[in-house]
């Protein structure tokens, strides 16, 4: 309604246009022009306007706008300034912490929390770590925010709800071991998988590899980041793997985070791949 008033329409003119079907009430003091049907972005913008000055799309709704989460059923989520007591039926409102007051921007012309704050909000509300990991992954792939920049952003949010959980998630994405620690953790996993002691840090097919089992034709590399790899890094990895494949070998890649936090998955993968390598040729 504030936009209509600024455009010179008084209350009587607004009531007249509602009666004639030119304006359609969506929320109190929020109207659609021409037709009552709204696009999804129109619905979100209407909800933000209904919640008053300083309101922004947030949580699941912000994640939807950024493309890092699919649309979910339920109300639109809007964050309002900490001093606001605005409540609108059909909209879930969250009072924004002063620590996050500046973490807003416009996306598709809609006021919304920044990608970093959106992920913190998701960390405070999502029940599944898997879903939160997927959201961080999508944000990285879409260049909304990468794990390293996100970790730095967390320092601005203090003890905001969701920060501690998101930091734990990021530990898995950005975990990096020293070479000695990598070997110390990887060798027992290989033993549990039934593999012998590998050669470490040796040249194979023109490349230095982390672990090599010559008798199995198996090469294992440990990557530093789970998600954030530049196109150039990805290309180099593919070229390395293709060189091993051309030589009739099996290349495997695990992240440092997988070796540290998901050892059972690493053991099972090694066991299966090694078992195939031992099968006699047909």
Q: List per-block mean pLDDT (blocks of 10 residues) for the chain, which spans 282 residues.
A: 50 55 73 79 92 93 95 89 86 88 92 96 92 90 86 87 91 80 92 94 94 95 69 86 95 91 94 83 49
Pairing of strands 23-27, 30-33: antiparallel
Which two tokens mark 278? 């031992």
Vertex 75, ends 74 and 77: CA angle to 5°?
A: 125
Query: Any bridge partners for residue 106, and if so which?
Result: 111
Packing angle between helix 147-154 and helix 163-174, nearest 10 degrees? 150
Query: Any bridge partners for residue 218, and if so which?
Result: 213, 250
Q: What is the pLDDT of residue 16?
A: 47
Q: What is the pLDDT of residue 14?
A: 53
Q: Alpha helices, DSSP H only, in 74-128?
A: 115-125
Q: What is the pLDDT of residue 282?
A: 47
Q: Alpha helices, DSSP H only, in the chain?
A: 2-6, 11-19, 40-50, 59-66, 115-125, 129-141, 147-154, 163-174, 179-192, 231-246, 256-261, 263-277
Indicate whether this model's pTM tops 0.95: no
Q: What is the pLDDT of residue 233?
A: 79
- DSSP codes joined into one string, 4-32: HHHTT--HHHHHHHHHTTSEEEEETTEEE
| Backbone Cα Rg of the chain | 26
The backbone torsions φ and ψ at residue 95, rounded to the nearest 5 degrees and listed phi first, read -80, 125
Distance CA 255, CA 128 (A): 21
45-65 residue pLDDT tens: 999 999 988 999 999 999 999
Distance CA 54, CA 52 (A): 6
Domains, the chain, in order of start with CATH, read 1-37 (no CATH), 40-174 (no CATH), 179-277 (3.40.960.10)
Q: What is the pLDDT of residue 141?
A: 84
């Amino acid at each position: 309604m504030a936009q209509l008033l600024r455009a010179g329409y008084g209350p009587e003119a607004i009531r007249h246009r509602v009666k004639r079907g030119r304006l359609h009430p969506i929320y109190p003091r929020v109207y659609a022009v021409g037709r009552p049907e709204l696009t999804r972005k129109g619905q979100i913008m209407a909800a933000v306007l209904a919640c008053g000055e300083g309101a922004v799309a947030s949580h699941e709704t912000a994640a939807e706008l950024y493309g890092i989460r699919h649309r979910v059923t339920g109300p639109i989520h809007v964050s309002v300034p900490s001093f606001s007591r605005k409540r609108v039926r059909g909209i879930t409102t969250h009072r924004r912490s002063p620590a996050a007051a500046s973490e807003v921007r416009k996306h598709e012309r809609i006021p919304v929390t920044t990608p970093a704050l959106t992920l913190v909000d998701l960390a405070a509300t999502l029940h599944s770590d898997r879903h939160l990991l997927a959201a961080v992954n999508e944000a990285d792939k879409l260049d909304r925010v990468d794990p390293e920049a996100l970790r730095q952003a967390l320092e601005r949010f203090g003890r905001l709800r969701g920060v501690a959980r998101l930091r734990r998630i990021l530990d898995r994405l950005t975990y990096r071991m020293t070479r000695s620690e990598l070997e110390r953790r990887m060798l027992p996993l290989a033993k549990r998988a039934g593999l012998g002691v590998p050669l470490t840090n040796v040249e194979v097919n023109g490349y230095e590899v982390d672990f090599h089992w010559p008798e199995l034709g198996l090469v294992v590399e440990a990557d530093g980041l789970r998600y954030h790899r530049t196109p150039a890094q990805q290309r180099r990895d593919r070229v390395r793997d293709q060189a091993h494949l051309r030589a009739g070998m099996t290349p495997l890649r695990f992240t440092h985070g997988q070796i540290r936090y998901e050892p059972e998955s690493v053991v099972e993968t090694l066991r299966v791949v090694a078992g195939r390598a031992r099968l006699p040729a047909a």
